Amino acid sequence: MRRWVGFLAPTLFIAILLGAWEAACRLLAVPDALLPPPSEIGQALWRNAGLLFVSAGRTLASALIAYAWVTLLANVAAVGAASSRIVEASFKPIAVALQVTPIVALAPMVAVWSGVEHPERAVVALAVVVGFFPIYSGSLAGLSATDPELERLFDLYGATGWQRLLRLRIPSAIPQALEGQKVGLGLALVGAVMGELSAGSGSTEGLAWRIMEASHRLEMAKSFAALVALALLGGALYVGFQAFEGAALAWWRGRPAQRR
């Protein structure tokens, strides 16, 4: 019953919002070039499905490449910071700077460094910057939150630094690290989109470029259709990682996953 309620409640709410949107556009005679009704957006989505699918694939590829790089870099940095307070203190200002610096401020410089002929490199680099901090902070928090009793037990048995890292800290960090990875995946997609908008060009041809291209031509229904495709892509990534996270945590706890 709860599962049905969890499915029907948001579905009904979205249907009401779309119905109100459609009615408002029809009754107020809002121009399609300003705000198209959902029916027009649906038609544009259907007509441009092939083009949007290709563009979604390119945006997804950039986001996943960036995610692979940022996962490696952020976790290596977190292990180094967790192993030495000096390393953590040294790296902390850089991590904070990456978190608080607006990505649009970096985009022009990254575009120049990547070269006009390689805009996809700028897109990936900007996505790495956006996704770094949550993955780093999640892994560092998990690595630093080991049970003191287990730490003393490892001291009692004379465990080496590598044994302590591989057998205690990394296993203990999995739940918090996975949460950081989930947030980082979403932000990698956001960074890829912002990279396409800020530092990309028509050669990237991702979903963000389709949104910008259609908006410049006042084809707002097509622009909204690309936005819907982007939302669906983000939702699919979230659901996929949620399933992976559930399976990983079930394995970590040593029991099969339970359906909710």
Residue 23 is assigned to a structural domain of this protein: no
Residue 241 is assigned to a structural domain of this protein: yes
- Tell me the whole-structure pTM to 2 decimals: 0.85
Q: Which domain holds residue 74?
A: 41-253
pLDDT in tens, 133-151: 999 999 998 888 877 777 7
User: Quick check: 200 pLDDT over 60?
Assistant: no
pLDDT in tens, 79-135: 888 888 888 888 888 888 878 878 778 878 887 887 777 778 888 988 999 999 999
Residue 204: pLDDT band (50, 70, 90) is: low
User: Quick check: 169 pLDDT over 70?
Assistant: yes
Distance CA(125)–CA(63), nearest Å, equals 10
Residue 28 is assigned to a structural domain of this protein: no
What total number of domains does the chain contain?
1
User: Quick check: 183 pLDDT over 90?
Assistant: yes
Tokens at 204, concatenated: 């990237």
Residue 204 is assigned to a structural domain of this protein: yes
Residue 182 is assigned to a structural domain of this protein: yes
Domain CATH number, residue 140: 1.10.3720.10
Residue 209's closest CA among 123, 115, 107, 125?
Answer: 123
Residue 1: pLDDT band (50, 70, 90) is: low
